Structure 1
Amino acid sequence: MLIKHYVSLLALSGLSLLSHAQSFNKAKLDSLLTTLASHDKAMGSLTISQNGAVVYSRAIGYESLNGTTKTPATPSTHYRIGSVTKVFTATLIFQLIDEGKLTLDTPLATYFPQLPNAQRITIGQLLSHHSGLHSFTNDATYSTYFTQPKTQAEMLAMIGQGKPDFEPGAKFSYSNAGYVVLGYVVEKITKQPYAQALQKRIINKIGLKDTYYGGKTDPKRHESYSYRLASSWQAMPETDMSIPGGAGAIVSTTTDLNRFAEALFAGKLVSEKSLARMQTITDNGFGMGLMRMQFGAKRAYGHGGSIDGFGTSLGYFPEEKLAVAYISNGQSYPLNDVMLGVLSIYFQQPYRLPDFDAKAPTLAATDLVPYVGTYASTSIPLKITVSAVGATLQAQATGQPVLPLTPVTKDVFSYDAAGIRLEFAPSRHEMLLKQGGGSFLFTLE
């Protein structure tokens, strides 16, 4: 399932970095990936490239698990990249702008007048998530049809039925619907299916060998399935790729993603002016197709992605000419924390490898009573209901699924797959939610 809102993976501004490292501790990076794999914390591929050359590439876990048949992942494994697709879509749009075929101010009504506020929504607002178009992936009904094929007409009708979230340009709200529509705009102008425009304008142009518009997973092509960890890795349902389109339907490898980022920033795909617009951040860390990712004093641009059980991070550091791509097809440890470890090791920052052998406290049902209740926050419009089922503590945010929590220490619980940490202070009737670099105080109602 497409993620509703993707938080910058590299919001680690508190670090003080050294100058760019000429070498890094590859053995330590190997140890990080090995411990993640051996403890069933992650499966996937990592590639680091500098100055156009691969300096590190490794895969862990499996691209396919079918009973006793296990196909190990390799750096050539193909993964669904989710919302990193949006960078490709934005690139296609800016190519058309460079060719004078549309502008950032072109109204959406030029192509799809039937959509809400189409006369007042611009291409630029779609690119920067300021259109107000309601994102269909936020609806509860999405889970009832995301595995079924949809035509463009059906998708447009569905998007058209959604009530706008706000007036065009009024504010930022991450919208998968906006980028699905941008993909359709590409098709209208080029008179080609999105897959063909992608092939001609990006893939063939820069020589990508393992990137394409996805379909039903084909293990014969070394396409990976995605998994979630229960008592073992369990296969996740597959989104039908007719639905995410220009918002999330591309399949690629970590090596190809790095090549794409390098080509984009080398001026091989769009003009210098267009690349600058892609990097111009308005709010929430987003520009027009690119996100700003901060690692201490160093700045990267890229995007994150999530679809089914896949998680992706692509970042490019222009000053260092460094590209880092990580794609996971199974994670029970936060992707953000994996990237923190990777970058800390690469930039020779102090970093302690995670200790997954440390024993979590054993709690009885009676130990969980002080945490149970509904918590509200004045900083975000969200309530979290904490409940106990036997000796397991659970948390459920408004409109979201129930998450089983793992005890870390006294009064501290986590849900590692989403990078969530809950720190309780029962005597004060408070709970601190930590996720994605942010901390939010909640009070027991």
Structure 2
Amino acid sequence: MKRTQHYRMKRRVWKRVLLVTLVVIILFICSLCLIKHKPTTAVGETKTVKHTYKPVTKSIVKNLNQNVFLKNNDLAVGFDTQLQESGFVGTALVVHHNRVILQKGFGYANKAQNRLNDAQSLYQIASIQKGFTATLIMQQVRAGKLHLDTSLSQYYPNIPDANQVTIKEMLTMTSGLTEKANANVFTTDAENVAFDAKHTTVVSSPNWSYQAINYRLLSGILMQITHKNYSELFNETFNQKYHLDVSDYKDFVRNKHRTIGYKDLDYSQLASDSPLAYAMETGTGNMAMTTGNLYTFYRLLTDHVMLNENALHTMWQHPVSSRYAAGLYHYDKYSTGHGVILGFEPTVILTKNGQDAVILMSNVNTRGKSWQPLAKRLFTQMTAIKIVN
């Protein structure tokens, strides 16, 4: 009897030993798997998360600012013909299914010098700059230094009804504000916006109204938050960090790739080249860039490099009363932006993911004529998306 009990106890012990051994083996195998798949960090090295281009974005933007014409592509050939027949002057950039099929200059950048437009030509982007200002605002929101429901009175308490105006309403131009006078002198960005603030009043209609004062005051708020002038903040963000090579007016006029603004297609009449007119457009329209770098800006947004998906959605969320938000007009399948300043007319139309786009940057703006319908026609032919007029 004792012998039988001894064997049973011995058997239980061996079962326990085998069970423990099996568990140890399983745990060892799992730990090897974890080590194999765990990212390694060198001793003393701080692990950081880097914002990188999505592969498709990187492959597109690396060759921008170079002339592209795919002669074996029917769309590119057809668009090139239409641009020439329309008399378009400027640089056209067409992206179809994540591929640049056309980037080409038309007409003269400077007729007096017989210098032609090309992919490296610089154009004033006019009101499209408001999208850059909006992006700077959203970056401050992301950093927790500003909120979209913050009232304007926190920064400009002397503006009428400032306590009833929010940052979000200024981004969508539903603030009800307008400017009753323009400055006739200019010294700095801060003094320019200070003048604007003193001459801000309320419009009669409470509905949406396109008023540049909204973005001039947003520029002033950025300067108050960051303690930097607008040009400095703009340069640090978009040039030093994202390498977009945007030029402010003083650099634009010295750049060898600058274009001259004209009032007619035969180049017989120059547009006014007023330093004061540009200086007054703090945050609203005094920067210049190439078509390729402008497209890169939008891809950095749509690919959530500059702003995460939620922040971009919030920035581009338009009110019921209009389609406007952050420098663009937004529709279900596309967004579009347009501007005019002293002979320059930029037009941008792109799908929500940025993978199809038409950008026309022109240095001829003739009274009563716009290149915007041409851009819309090309975009519709390429995507079959009907554009709202």
Q: TM-score interval w.r.t. the shorter chain?
A: 0.7 to 0.9
Identify the residue that residue 307 of structure 2 maps to in structure 1: 270
The CA distance in 2 between the partners of 1:196 and 1:162, in whole Å, is 25
Q: 1:51 to 1:110 in 2, by over 3 A?
A: farther
**Which runs of structure 2 are paired with 1:112-127 in the superposition (5 Å)?**
112-127=156-171
Identify the residue that residue 134 of structure 1 maps to in structure 2: 178
For the aligned residue pairs, the C-alpha RMSD in angstroms reads 2.8
User: After TM superposition, which residue ranges in structure 1, 4 or more long, deviate above 4 angstroms?
Assistant: 50-53
Q: 1:217 to 1:200 in 2, by over 3 A?
A: closer
Is the 8 Å Cα contact of residues 122 and 258 (structure 2) preserved in structure 1?
yes
**Which runs of structure 2 are paired with 1:14-53 in the superposition (5 Å)?**
24-37=74-87, 42-50=88-96, 53=99
Deviation track 1:162-196 (CA, whole Å, cap 9, x = no partner) reads 431048xx321111011011112112112222122
Deviation track 1:315-352 (CA, whole Å, cap 9, x = no partner) reads 221256223221111044421221133224434799xx
The CA distance in 2 between the partners of 1:220 and 1:289, in whole Å, is 26
* Secondary structure, aligned partner of 1:228: coil
Q: CA deviation at 1:44?
A: 0.8
Is the 8 Å Cα contact of residues 262 and 323 (structure 1) preserved in structure 2?
no
Identify the residue that residue 21 of structure 2 maps to in structure 1: none
**Which runs of structure 2 are paired with 1:48-59 in the superposition (5 Å)?**
48-50=94-96, 53-59=99-105
**Which runs of structure 2 are paired with 1:97-246 in the superposition (5 Å)?**
97-135=141-179, 145=184, 149=186, 151=188, 152-166=190-204, 170-208=206-244, 210-215=245-250, 217-218=252-253, 220-229=255-264, 232-240=267-275, 241-246=278-283
Deviation track 1:382-439 (CA, whole Å, cap 9, x = no partner) reads xxxxxxxxxxxxxxxxxxxxxxxxxxxxxxxxxxxxxxxxxxxxxxxxxxxxxx93xx
The CA distance in 2 between the partners of 1:57 and 1:29, in whole Å, is 11
Is the 8 Å Cα contact of residues 193 and 282 (structure 2) preserved in structure 1?
no
The CA distance in 1 between the partners of 2:330 and 2:156, in whole Å, is 30
Q: CA deviation at 1:101?
A: 0.4
The CA distance in 1 between the partners of 2:195 and 2:239, in whole Å, is 30
* Secondary structure, aligned partner of 1:134: strand
* Secondary structure, aligned partner of 1:229: coil
Alignment of 1:65 with 2:99, yes or no, is no
Q: CA deviation at 1:238?
A: 2.4
* Secondary structure, aligned partner of 1:74: coil
Higher mean displacement: 52-61 or 148-157: 148-157
The CA distance in 1 between the partners of 2:84 and 2:169, in whole Å, is 43
Deviation track 1:361-395 (CA, whole Å, cap 9, x = no partner) reads xxxxxxxxxxxxxxxxxxxxxxxxxxxxxxxxxxx
Q: Which has the larger radius of gyration?
A: 2
Q: 1:204 to 1:54 in 2, by over 3 A?
A: farther
The CA distance in 1 between the partners of 2:349 and 2:119, in whole Å, is 18
2:295 is matched by which residue type in structure 1? Answer: N
Identify the residue that residue 367 of structure 1 maps to in structure 2: none
The CA distance in 1 between the partners of 2:281 and 2:342, in whole Å, is 12
Identify the residue that residue 300 of structure 1 maps to in structure 2: 334
Q: 1:52 to 1:206 in 2, by over 3 A?
A: farther
Q: CA deviation at 1:49?
A: 2.7
Is the 8 Å Cα contact of residues 186 and 194 (structure 1) preserved in structure 2?
yes
1:130 is matched by which residue type in structure 2? Answer: T
By percentage of residues, which structure has more helix? 2
Q: CA deviation at 1:155?
A: 4.2
* Secondary structure, aligned partner of 2:147: coil
Equivalent residues, number: 311
Q: CA deviation at 1:229?
A: 1.4
The CA distance in 2 between the partners of 1:230 and 1:345, in whole Å, is 25
The CA distance in 2 between the partners of 1:52 and 1:196, in whole Å, is 33
Is the 8 Å Cα contact of residues 312 and 325 (structure 1) preserved in structure 2?
yes
Q: CA deviation at 1:205?
A: 3.0
TM-score normalised by structure 2 residue count: 0.72
1:233 is matched by which residue type in structure 2? Answer: S
Is the 8 Å Cα contact of residues 127 and 284 (structure 2) preserved in structure 1?
yes
Q: 1:300 to 1:80 in 2, by over 3 A?
A: same
- The correspondence for 2:345, drawn from 305, 311, 314, is 311
Higher mean displacement: 340-349 or 307-316: 340-349
By percentage of residues, which structure has more strand? 1
* Secondary structure, aligned partner of 1:130: coil
Alignment of 1:86 with 2:130, yes or no, is yes
Q: CA deviation at 1:117?
A: 2.2
